[in-house]
Amino acid sequence: MPSITMELVRMSKEKKAQLVKEVTESTSRITGLPQQAIFVFIKENEPDNVGVGGVLLPDMNK
């Protein structure tokens, strides 16, 4: 049973559902495993807790 963990900035429930669906379908197709055997975990982070290139996400557009 593969488990996939992704850390992301907060997203809507609809976007998370789409992401889980597509990741599950791709993983199933590539591995040949049934979709029911694939676990996807989403860990959400507040933008204030994510930095890219030494800058916090909220400060990147300033």
For the chain, domain boundaries: 3-59
What's the pLDDT tens digit per position in 49-62? 999 999 999 998 77
Q: Is 33 left (phi over 0), alpha (psi -120 to 50) or beta?
A: beta
Is residue 59 within 8 Å of 24, Cβ to Cβ?
Answer: no
Topology at the third CATH level for domain 3-59 = Macrophage Migration Inhibitory Factor (3.30.429)
Residues 16-49 have pLDDT tens digits of 999 999 999 999 999 999 999 999 999 999 999 9
DSSP state of 53: T
Q: What sign for the dihedral angle of Cα 31, 37, 39, 40?
A: positive
**pTM reported for the whole predicted model:** 0.81
